C-alpha cells in the first residue's frame, strides 16, 4: 500500500500475526516496501514483546509454547495427565510392543500400562524406564544417545540410528503444543526428530496431549495431525478444537 505510515504498516503486520505466522518476503511484497523495512518493523515489535522472530519471519508470542523443565511440567495438569494415561493404556493389547516418548504425560501412560503387561516398552525417557524396574514380565529397551539438558531423555543421532531399526505396535507421542489446523509441535529440534521417526516406525501412533496444549504452536512442527491414529486428551478440550479435529478426520480419545 503506497504512502502508508510506519504506524499503519505495523498495525497491518499485527493483524496478519493474529491469523498466524508471517514471512518477511510476503509482507514486503504485499505492503510494497523493502524486506529491510519489514525486518526493522519486526525487530521493533520483538523489542515490544509482541512477537518472536523465526527464520524468514515471525510468529505471535502468545501462541508459542515455551520449553519448561521436566520438573516444572511434572506438577502441571496432573489429573488430566493421569486420565490420559488410563485412556492410552486401554488401547494397548497384552504383549504389544509400545513406544513411549519424551515428557511427563508418557510417564503417566507407563504407570497405567503396568497393569496391562505390554510385552516390550521402547522409550527414550529415563523416568518411563524407571517405572518398570523390577517388572520381570516386561522388556524395556532404551537406545543410546545424549541426555537432554532440561529433561531426562536420550536424544541425538545415536538415538535415531537405534530407533530406526525398530518397529512397534503402537507409539504414544508427546508434544509441547497442538494447532489442529497445522499439526503438533515440539520446542526442541532433537525431541521432534525422535517423535517424527517413531511416527513412521509404528503401526499406530497416538498423540498424548492435555487440553492446555491446544491452540498454540511451538518452534518445531513434528507432523500434521492427520498422520495420527488419534489424539488422546482430557475432557477439558474446548469445543472449537474438537470441531477442528473432527473436520481433519482425527479421532479424539478421552477416558470414559
Q: Does the residue 241 lie in any domain?
A: yes
Query: Residue 62: what pLDDT?
Result: 54
Output the domain CATH number for residue 160. Answer: 3.40.50.1360
The residue out of 63, 83, 101 marking a domain boundary is: 63
Q: Does residue 25 carry a pLDDT above 80?
A: yes
Q: 56 and 100: one domain? A: no
User: What is the Cα–Cα distance from 130 to 209, expressed in whole angstroms?
Assistant: 22
Output the domain CATH number for residue 10. Answer: 1.10.10.10
Q: 123 and 210: one domain? A: yes
Query: Residue 120: what pLDDT?
Result: 96
Average pLDDT, the chain: 88
Q: Does the residue 227 lie in any domain?
A: yes
Q: 44 and 134: one domain? A: no
Confidence label for 6 from pLDDT (cuts 50, 70 and 90): confident
Q: 56 and 75: one domain? A: no
Domains in the chain, number? 2
Q: Does the residue 214 lie in any domain?
A: yes
Q: 109 and 178: one domain? A: yes
Q: 107 and 226: one domain? A: yes
Q: Does the residue 1 lie in any domain?
A: no
Q: Does the residue 150 lie in any domain?
A: yes
Answer yes or no: pTM beyond 0.75. Answer: no
For residue 50, the enclosing domain spans 6-63
Q: What is the mean pLDDT of residues 12-26?
A: 80
Note the pLDDT tens digit of each residue in 195-242.
Answer: 999 999 999 999 999 999 998 888 899 999 999 999 999 999 999 999
The residue out of 63, 79, 107 marking a domain boundary is: 63
More confident residue, 45 or 3: 45
Q: What is the mean pLDDT of residues 236-254?
A: 93
Q: Does residue 180 carry a pLDDT above 90?
A: yes
Q: 217 and 122: one domain? A: yes
Query: Residue 148: what pLDDT?
Result: 84
Percentage of the chain exceeding pLDDT 90: 60
Q: Does the residue 28 lie in any domain?
A: yes
Query: Residue 76: what pLDDT?
Result: 58
Q: What is the mean pLDDT of residues 118-140?
A: 92
More confident residue, 21 or 228: 228
Q: Does the residue 232 lie in any domain?
A: yes
Confidence label for 67 from pLDDT (cuts 50, 70 and 90): very low
Q: 88 and 150: one domain? A: yes
The residue out of 22, 38, 63 marking a domain boundary is: 63
Q: 37 and 98: one domain? A: no
Q: What is the mean pLDDT of residues 16-23?
A: 75
Confidence label for 123 from pLDDT (cuts 50, 70 and 90): very high
More confident residue, 212 or 52: 212
Q: 25 and 94: one domain? A: no
Q: 101 and 192: one domain? A: yes
Q: What is the mean pLDDT of residues 123-127?
A: 94
Q: At what angle do helices 6-18 and 35-47 cross, to 10 degrees?
A: 70
Q: 76 and 57: one domain? A: no
Amino acid at each position: 500500500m503506497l504512502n502508508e505510515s510506519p504506524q499503519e504498516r505495523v498495525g497491518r503486520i499485527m493483524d496478519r500475526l493474529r491469523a498466524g505466522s508471517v514471512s518477511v518476503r510476503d509482507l514486503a511484497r504485499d505492503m510494497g516496501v523493502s524486506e529491510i523495512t519489514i525486518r526493522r518493523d519486526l525487530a521493533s515489535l520483538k523489542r515490544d514483546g509482541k512477537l518472536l522472530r523465526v527464520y524468514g519471519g515471525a510468529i505471535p508470542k502468545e501462541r508459542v509454547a515455551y520449553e519448561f523443565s521436566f520438573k516444572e511440567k511434572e506438577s502441571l495438569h496432573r489429573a488430566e495427565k493421569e486420565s490420559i494415561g488410563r485412556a492410552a493404556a486401554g488401547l494397548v493389547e497384552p504383549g504389544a510392543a509400545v513406544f513411549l516418548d519424551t515428557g511427563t504425560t508418557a510417564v503417566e501412560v507407563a504407570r497405567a500400562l503396568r497393569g496391562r503387561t505390554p510385552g516390550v516398552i521402547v522409550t527414550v525417557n529415563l523416568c518411563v524406564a524407571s517405572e518398570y524396574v523390577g517388572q520381570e514380565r516386561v522388556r524395556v529397551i532404551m537406545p543410546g544417545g545424549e541426555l537432554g539438558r532440561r529433561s531426562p531423555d536420550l536424544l541425538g543421532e545415536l538415538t535415531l540410528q537405534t530407533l530406526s531399526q525398530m518397529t512397534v505396535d503402537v507409539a504414544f507421542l508427546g508434544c509441547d503444543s497442538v494447532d489442529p489446523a497445522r499439526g503438533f509441535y515440539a520446542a526442541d529440534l532433537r525431541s521432534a526428530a525422535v517423535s517424527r521417526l517413531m511416527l513412521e516406525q509404528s503401526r499406530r501412533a497416538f498423540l498424548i496431549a492435555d487440553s492446555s496444549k491446544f491452540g498454540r504452536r511451538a518452534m518445531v512442527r513434528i507432523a500434521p495431525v492427520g498422520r495420527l491414529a488419534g489424539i488422546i486428551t482430557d475432557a477439558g478440550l474446548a469445543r472449537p478444537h474438537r470441531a477442528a479435529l473432527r473436520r481433519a478426520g482425527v479421532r479424539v480419545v478421552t477416558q470414559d
